[in-house]
Amino acid sequence: MSRNYLIFNIIWLIIQRLIEVNCEIKPQRRIHHSATYINNKLYILGGQDIDETDVDGVDNKTLILYGGRSFQTNVNMNLVYMFDTESESWKTTAENYTHKRSLSGLINSNGKMYLFGGRFDYGRIVNDILIFDTVNTSWRNVTDSSAPAPRINYGAVLLPNQTIIYLGGMNANNGSYSLREVYLYDTNNDHWDVKLSTGSIPSNRHGFSAVLGLNGQQIIIFGGRNEKLNEFDPSNSLYTLNINSLQWNIPNVSGKIPKSRHNHKANVFRKYMVISFGTNYDQKDESDILLLDINDNNKFKWTSLKHNNNKLEILLIIGSIIVIIVTVASIGIYKYKKRKETQYEIDVDRVPLDDLSFLGN
């Protein structure tokens, strides 16, 4: 029995246990995690320095995890892990291609995962695109002189026409890129294009989140940091970009406006932009998960999990896993209810790294 096989079994067992155990502990605040929404569950993996990225497979049930690293130097890591959310089993069949970090992977409708830019482990920041075919697990590396300058921690959104928009990000000197330039990468023909946006262009930033609005016509960005690595004021944190006119706007918002965050993640879930973790907030004052109601394109509304009167009951299951040292969270809205308050349940289970020792070398 190979060592990896053992490890996968352990991960599987831990996940199983997590679902059973119920204790009310808050997960640690985290940055650089990945968050992927599959079938009513938000899978939050890793965080802090693990720095991986993941996507939902074309079958809508496989979580594909790329990159990341172990805190333990002698742990063998594969570059790609796939987690079947139905059978709750892991597999790694992909070749270990190039390892990059601090990037946002996106998957198009053909099941190709695009890994633009990022940083080689402890090294150079690049501007090529690695393409991982999640169906036949083959790799391709696209270098193109018309690609945007090398960057990490940028914003990326897949448009309905299978073009990816890349925005902002950070260069090798901690500098932030402008969001006036909107980079378009057509996944149908691997062609780069750049266009200039207008309107209330957000100041240079990196570490923000970007999602496609419910109407498929605008990108919503939140948070990030500026050149001096400072957070933004809430009034300078939330913007929309019309994908056709490329005009930026500051949306109307109501509700209790949260502090801006950076290196968080955002996903769209039903009518919400779900913001998970990040930094610059106090867990005593704000929920790790923020909900922005984006149903009305002209007026968004902040709703937090803690003070959520939306008659939604949310179950959050969080646990950490060894080896990839990831944390798996699942948010399942499992029933509508009439009670005013929303329950916010968190399950946490931590396995100390030392526990890996019984695997031997």
Ligand X SMILES: *[C@@H]1O[C@H](CO)[C@@H](O)[C@H](O)[C@H]1NC(C)=O
**What is the CA 220 to chain-centroid distance, rounded?**
14
The yes or no reply on residue 161 touching ligand X (CB under 6 A) is yes
Among 96, 146, 283, 343, binds ligand X (CB under 6 A): 96
**Using alpha carbons only, how large is the chain's radius of gyration in Å?**
20
**What is the CA 265 to chain-centroid distance, rounded?**
4
Among 133, 181, 227, 286, binds ligand X (CB under 6 A): 133
* Separation between Cα atoms, residue 57 and residue 38, nearest integer Å: 9
The yes or no reply on residue 164 touching ligand X (CB under 6 A) is no
The yes or no reply on residue 138 touching ligand X (CB under 6 A) is yes
Q: Residue 127 corresponds to which tokens in the numbers above?
A: 């501007």
The stretch among 135-143, 269-277, 322-330, 349-357 that binds ligand X (CB under 6 A) is 135-143
Instruction: Tell the smallest beta-carbon distance from residue 163 to ligand X (Å).
Output: 4
The yes or no reply on residue 76 touching ligand X (CB under 6 A) is yes
The yes or no reply on residue 173 touching ligand X (CB under 6 A) is yes
The yes or no reply on residue 143 touching ligand X (CB under 6 A) is yes
Q: Residue 267 corresponds to which tokens in the numbers above?
A: 């996903």
The yes or no reply on residue 89 touching ligand X (CB under 6 A) is no
The yes or no reply on residue 243 touching ligand X (CB under 6 A) is yes
* Separation between Cα atoms, residue 134 and residue 279, nearest integer Å: 32
Size of the chain in residues? 361
User: How many other CB atoms are there within 10 angstroms of residue 59's CB atom?
Assistant: 13
Closer of 56 and 347 to ligand X (Cβ):
56
Closer of 227 and 286 to ligand X (Cβ):
227
Count of CA atoms in the C-beta half-sphere (13 A) of 89: 5
The yes or no reply on residue 128 touching ligand X (CB under 6 A) is yes
Instruction: Tell the smallest beta-carbon distance from residue 179 to ligand X (Å).
Output: 16
Long-range contacts of 229-232 (CB under 8 A, 24+ apart): 229/174, 231/259, 231/260, 231/261, 231/262, 231/280, 232/203, 232/205, 232/260
Q: 311 in the Ramachandran plot: left (φ > 0), alpha (ψ -120 to 50) or beta?
A: left
The yes or no reply on residue 251 touching ligand X (CB under 6 A) is yes
Tokens 């989140």 appear where?
A: 209
Instruction: Tell the smallest beta-carbon distance from residue 349 to ligand X (Å).
Output: 26
Among 141, 235, 283, 357, binds ligand X (CB under 6 A): 141
Given a contact cutoff of 8 angstroms between Cβ atoms, the answer to whether 201 and 227 are in contact is no
Tokens 């079938």 appear where?
A: 39
Instruction: Tell the smallest beta-carbon distance from residue 146 to ligand X (Å).
Output: 15
Residues that bind ligand X (CB under 6 A): 4, 59-60, 76-78, 95-96, 98, 128, 130, 133, 136, 138, 141, 143, 159, 161, 163, 173-174, 184, 186, 229, 243-244, 249, 251-252, 298
